[in-house]
Every structure is written in C-alpha cells, then in structure tokens.
Amino acid sequence: MARAAEFVRRFEVPTRLAHWALAVPFLLLLLTGLTNYLPRLKALAIGGFRVFAWAHVLLGFAMVVIAVLVVLSLLRSRSMRGDAEVLAAFGDDDVRWLEHEAMALAGQRTATPRVGKFNAGQKINAAISALATIGLLGTGVILGINTFSKSVFTVGITGMTFSWHTLLALATIPVVLGHVYLAALNPATRESLRGITRGFVRRDWAMRHHPDWTTHASEHELPPEHR
C-alpha cells in the first residue's frame, strides 16, 4: 500500500494535453514526411491520392490550428504558463548543470548543481522543439498551399522552402530520439514519463532529479488512487 507522501504532482492537465496534442501530430508528420525517402511507401495510393503525402499535408494544417490553440491556452492556463516560464528561464544553475554533466563525462566528479522543475537538457530540448516546430509550420504552410495551387509561389521560393523544411525535419530526429529514449527507456530517467501521462511522479525520484522543485512541491496533489 503506497503512502500518500510517495508521489508529487508534476504536470497539470493543460500542460499534459498540450504536450500530447503537439507530440502525436509531430511524430505522425515526421513519419509521413520520411516516406519521401521510401519510394514504394510513398507511392501507396487510394483512389489516386497518395496516402502519406495527403496525410502529411492535412495533418500539417491541423497542427497549425493545434499550435495556435496551445499558444492561446498559455494565456488561459496559469499552470501551463508557469511550466513555460520555467522552461524558458536559462540561468547560471543551468550552465552549471551542463558543466557538471560534461565533467562527469570527462571522469571528474563535481558537486551536483541546483536543479528545479526542469534541468538544462530539458530546457534545451523544449527550445529546439519549439523553434523547429515554428519553422516547420511556417515552411510547411507555404508547401501546403503549393500542394493546392502552383501559381502562388515560384519554384525558386518553393525549392528554398522545401530545403529548409527538410533540414529542420532531419535536425529534429536526433532530438526526438534522445527525448523518447530519456523519457521512456533510460532506467534512471524514465520515471518522468508518468509525469506527462498521469501527472505525478515518485517523490524519491523527484528528490534526486529535481530537488529544488520537489522541496517546494509538498502541497502538490496526489494521484487519484492515493487520495
């Protein structure tokens, strides 16, 4: 029987919803986009419509709407705004955390730096993901319009846009793989997955990975089955 003190609340519903509302179409867009390198899959068509190409275009436009809704909900949700503000704040402690990890790599043991709700790696992941998403949606809208009409943009513009869209998409692959590995597979860090699915994490794990945040998180709610 778990004791109440074993869990801390990590993410409220708006943050979790926003994460998955962006993550699921992002992954589907990445996978459908990669069929550009798999000619046989790319050629798969139903009634003359290429399945992956059209799924990519329609999902892309849907994601523009989703991204706008997420930005708007940032204005409405205090908890989500709080998460965003902490993610965007990169300070001396974050530099120290990166140094600490780099020193550990070089075999040097240094004092564990202060870590709040997010470490520097998580902040960098969030920044790269956000910037890449904005860039991909911006270039994607141009290419999406080009799908329906060839008379809006010149081939000079679409060619350049296609190159940037490709470059950004390929650049996100190692970031996404690293994010999924650390969140779902790596034994030391995978407890964090529960934070973004069910909203809470084990307190002892949080104490080790996000000590400054955890000590201030005593008032957080408990998971339903422990209430």
Partner 1 sequence: MASGSLISRAKFLGLMAAGGVLGYGGVLVGQRSIEGWRENTVEVPTPKFDPTAYRLTIDGLCEQPFTLTYDDLRGLPAVTQVSDFHCVEGWTVPDVKWQGVRLQQIIDRAKPSKDARYITFHSMGGIYRDSLALQQAQLPDALLAYDMDDARLPQDRGAPLRVVMPRMFGYKGAKWLRRIEFRDDQDIGYWEDRGWRVDAWIKA
Binding site for partner 1 (CB under 8 A): 36-37, 39-40, 42-43, 45, 48-49, 53, 100-101, 104-105, 107, 109-112, 115, 119, 143, 146-147, 150-151, 153-156, 158-159, 161-163, 166-167, 170-171, 173-174, 177-178, 181, 186, 188-189, 208-209
Question: Tokens at residue 15, please?
Answer: 């943050």
> Of 2 and 31, which CB lies nearer to partner 1 in the complex structure?
31
First CA to last CA across the chain, in angstroms? Answer: 12
Tokens 């709080």 map to which residue?
Answer: 82
Helix/strand/coil percent split, the chain, to 5: 75, 5, 25
- Minimum gap (Å) between residue 130 Cβ and partner 1: 20
Nearest to 163 by CA among 155, 175, 173: 155
- Minimum gap (Å) between residue 43 Cβ and partner 1: 5
> Of 16 and 42, which CB lies nearer to partner 1 in the complex structure?
42
7 three-class SS: strand
- Minimum gap (Å) between residue 36 Cβ and partner 1: 5
